[in-house]
Amino acid sequence: MPGIFGLFLEQQNPETFRDFITPSELLNEHKSEKYLVGRSCLDKLDKDRFIETKSGVTICFEGINLSDDINNKEDFFTDYENKGIDFVTELRGSYSGFIWDENKKEIFVFNDHLASRNIFYFFDPKLGFVFSSEMKSISKLLKELKIPFTLDEQAVYMMCLYGFIFRDHTYVNEIKKLNYSSILHYDYKNQELDVKQHFTYSAKKIDVSIDEAVNEVNRLFEKSVSKIWSKAANYGKDQLSFLSGGM
């Protein structure tokens, strides 16, 4: 599927990566002499999705923004300037994105609370860093550049036993998947990478009655649906929701 991408491999032509990106209606890029970032996406939801560069900082948001206080691209730039990368912990919705700060020679890649939009990445301290919404884009690039990669047998067992691959595993040992609620930071001046997870799910017992619990679930459900429907209204679209008997 189309999405976001970036190439920070040393001693490699950044144009090489473009050949492995799935084409879509829009292809927006920002590049320097050595590095490349961008997005390949449908020409929809332009009030939410964007990529823009100001004063050496490139911000890309790909998805649906349901945040209370961060409503447009100007808010993104203002909050990044005032709060640093921690402002992305306040985002809500279904999204992935990145912030490339050429002034500080670093890039941040982030996702939502469910990792609803995949982000895969490759990192080697000697070679550099690549990320993409598509795993196949990275694996094809590694093959083209003759960078060796191996099968992650644990991932195969997970899929066979559970029908799902957990944590940051993929079928390729050298390619990882960004876990939910995570901020990946790559310092390409020092070629250092770290990943911080700013939120985790946990079970917590609360002392409420059955009726109180049902009412609270209903309140949260209505709040979520209302927020999503209001987003559709912003684009002048009709709303349609599917209800599942399994919920």
Q: How many CA atoms lie within 13 A of 142 on its CB side?
A: 23
Those residues of the chain that have pLDDT short of 50 are none
What values do phi and psi take at 8, rounded to 5?
-130, 45
CA 58 to each of CA 33, 92, 117, 234: distance values in angstroms, whole numbers, following the listed order: 15, 20, 20, 26
What CA–CA distance (Å, rounded) separates 147 from 235?
Answer: 45
Residues 6+ apart with CB under 8 A from 19: 144
Which secondary-structure segment (H or E) carries 156? helix 153-162
What CA–CA distance (Å, rounded) separates 62 from 56?
Answer: 20
| pTM of the complete model | 0.92
Q: What is the reported pLDDT for 240? A: 74
The shares of helix, strand and coil residues in the chain, as percent rounded to the nearest 5, are: 25, 30, 45
What values do phi and psi take at 244, rounded to 5?
-110, 135
Q: What is the reported pLDDT for 19? A: 78
Bin 191: left if φ > 0, else alpha if -120 < ψ < 50, else beta: left
Two tokens at 139?
């694996």
